Amino acid sequence: MNGDASKLLDGIRDGLSTGAAENPFVAAVTEGRAPLAAVAALAAEENLIIPSDRRSFLTLAARSDEPAAVDFFAGLAQGENLVLPLVAPLAAAAGMERAALESYEPRAGCQAYPSYVSWLALNAEPAAAALALVANFAAWGGYCAALAAALRERHGFDDEACAFLDFFATPAPELEERAVRAAQAALDRGEPLAGAQRYARLLHDYETGFWQTLATVP
């Protein structure tokens, strides 16, 4: 065996900063300072991100030789299929009608993350990309949970309106298990997965930019 994938993942996570100060958008929603237009923008940006990420995950699945990696990325793509219909109710609850959702012009700061995921789909070693993605899942899920709670409390959003956020707030340990199995198989073949930490750091930075951009929506 040429390394421990679980320890590698732990080390990658330890290198990521997830302080509350990095996410002014969640803080603003939680404190009741964020306009609903910013929540609508979150939904509209995700309406574009989800199909892009789905294609990226399917590309990574197609490039993967390890069955656990194929399962991991195929599972992510299936999740995107499930969550896409949940975007419109969130947008509607925030005051954005379907026509406005479909004609929305995206912000570069929000679309940098899926653009980098697309880069990973074409250039990264799939097992390294899998570790990088799961390293960031916990922070993303926590933010979604905080947003769902705040929108219910402060704006009376119902379960349908919060279903998108609830989906990602729900832990999915099987995804991490698949990513770790894929990474372990790569390590056992002698692949160092040296890019995983860099991929995770950049994904984290791009996600931070996503939230910071939403915080500027008037």
Q: Which two tokens stand for residue 90?
A: 């969130």
Number of domains in the chain: 1
At 123, which CATH number?
1.20.910.10
| Residue 89 CB contacts under 8 Å (≥ 6 apart), including other chains | 160, 161, 163, 164
Residue positions counted in the chain? 218
218 residues of the chain, pLDDT tens digit each? 458 999 999 999 998 976 656 799 999 999 999 999 999 999 999 999 999 999 999 999 999 999 999 999 999 999 999 999 999 999 999 999 999 999 999 999 999 999 999 999 999 999 999 999 999 998 999 999 999 999 999 999 999 999 999 999 999 999 999 999 999 999 999 999 999 999 999 999 999 999 999 999 99
DSSP state of 34: S
What is the domain range of residue 78?
Answer: 5-214
Give me the pLDDT at residue 20, please.
Answer: 57
Sequence-distant contacts of 207-210: CB under 8 A, at least 24 apart: 207/113, 207/136, 207/139, 207/140, 208/22, 208/23, 209/109, 209/110, 209/112, 209/113, 210/45, 210/109, 210/110, 210/112, 210/113
* Residue pLDDT, tens place only, 156-197: 999 999 999 999 999 999 999 999 999 999 999 999 999 999
